[in-house]
Every structure is written in C-alpha cells, then in structure tokens.
C-alpha cells in the first residue's frame, strides 16, 4: 500500500511507540461503576476498577460493558485487513492464529474482542473492539509469516487500520 492509497486523515504509526489516546473515546466509562458490576451480555465483571472475567456475585449491578456497546452499535475501533496470494493459500492457518491471539488477549482483557470477520475479494477484514487488539493481531501475523505490515492511526476517531499482505 503506497501513500496515495491511504485514507485521508490517516497517519503511519511508529512501531516503537504505544498508541496513546488523544481524543475522548465515547465508549470509555464516564465515571466509576459500583462494584461489582456485571455486563448482562458477555458476563464480564467490573471489579477493582477494571473489567475482568470471573464469578458473578448474585448482588452485582448490571451495566453493558464498552465492548458490548461497540458491538451493538457496529462501531469498531480497529480494522485488520489480511490479503495476498500467500494469505489465500494459508487462509485457515492464518485465521486460526488471529483467533488464538484474540483468545490470548481476552484472558486478561475481556474487552478486547473480534467483532466480525468479513470476506473481501482479495482477503478478509477483521474488526475489533480495541485498537490494541488490532495491533497485536497485525504484529502476531507479521511475526509468524513476515510480509508487509502497515499501521494507520486516525487520532481524532480513536481508530486503527492494520494492513498485512504477503
């Protein structure tokens, strides 16, 4: 992908830096929730100031977590585009790695989820509820299979686009 095919407003991401939120994310909590709080959709529990997987106390408050809210609104934070002739030949294996990376991340961060996997003409697009999951999927695929990897972050929308081809 060259600079002429970038979406307007997207900037390449330096790989030696973590992504820092520069604008307000409407899906982040506005205040502290009462503890414990459980998400009625996914069962994540808000305890100790963060969402975790765990046992749901019977007296827990109910509030939809930010990830379920994004899924309901169909508003992803990350897009991962995977394509190329190598991808077409190894699609099942690479997609298995993508889902494994999600499961690994979700063990400690239950709000990092894959929203959808959509087939495209030349590959697939994976949408995520978190920019960091999109980045870790891109890094995992690149580490395992090399190829060309690009990150494009749009700070004013808290949106990351990851493109991998081989």
In which band, very low, low, confident or very high, does the pLDDT at 137 lie, cut at 50, 70 and 90?
Answer: very high
Confidence of residue 129 (pLDDT cuts 50, 70, 90): very high
Is the pLDDT at 98 greater than 70? The verdict is yes
| Overall domain count for the chain | 2
Domain identity same for 67 and 129: no
Say if residue 117 is in the same domain as residue 160: yes
For residue 121, is pLDDT > 90? no
Cβ atoms of residues 120 and 92 within 8 Å:
no
Same domain for 161 and 80: yes
Please give the pLDDT value at position 14.
62
* Full residue range of the structural domain in which residue 37 is found: 26-74
Per the prediction, the chain carries an average pLDDT of: 87
Same domain, 131 and 61: no
The answer to the question of residue 2 being in a domain is no
In a shared domain, residues 156 and 82: yes
Beta strand 50-52 with 61-62 is: unpaired
Same domain, 46 and 87: no
Q: Of all helices (H) and strands (E), which one includes residue 108? A: helix 91-108
52 and 82 in a single domain? The answer is no
Indicate the residue among 74, 98, 133 that finishes a domain. 74
Residue 50 neighbours by CB under 8 Å, 6+ apart? none
Kindly report, residue by residue over 13-53, the tens digit of the pLDDT. 666 665 554 555 666 666 788 888 999 999 999 988 889 99
Most confident range, picked from 5-19, 21-35, 48-62, 110-124: 110-124
CB atoms within 10 A of CB 85: 10
Higher pLDDT, 29 or 90: 90
pLDDT category at 5 given cuts 50, 70, 90 is low
Same domain, 80 and 122: yes
Peptide bond preceding 121: is omega within 30 degrees of 0, i.e. cis?
no
Residue 21 domain-assigned? no
Residue 73 exposed, middle or buried by CB count within 10 Å (0-12, 13-18, 19+): exposed
Here the CATH number for the domain that contains residue 157 is 3.30.70
Residue 147 region, left (φ>0) first, then alpha (ψ -120 to 50), else beta? left
């Amino acid at each position: 992908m060259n600079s002429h095919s970038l979406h307007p407003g997207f900037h390449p991401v330096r790989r030696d830096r973590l992504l820092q939120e520069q604008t307000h994310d409407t899906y982040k909590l506005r205040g502290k929730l009462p503890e414990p709080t459980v998400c009625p959709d996914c069962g994540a529990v808000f305890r100790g100031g963060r969402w975790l997987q765990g046992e749901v106390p019977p007296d827990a408050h109910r509030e939809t977590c930010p990830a379920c809210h994004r899924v309901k609104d169909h508003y992803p934070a990350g897009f991962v585009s995977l394509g190329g002739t190598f991808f077409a030949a190894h699609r099942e294996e690479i997609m298995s790695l993508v889902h494994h990376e999600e499961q690994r991340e979700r063990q400690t961060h239950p709000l990092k989820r894959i929203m959808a996997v959509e087939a495209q003409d030349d590959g697939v697009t994976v949408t995520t509820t978190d920019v960091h999951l999109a980045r870790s999927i891109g890094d995992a695929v690149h580490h395992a299979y090399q190829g060309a990897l690009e990150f494009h972050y749009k700070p004013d929308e808290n949106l990351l686009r990851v493109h991998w081809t081989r």
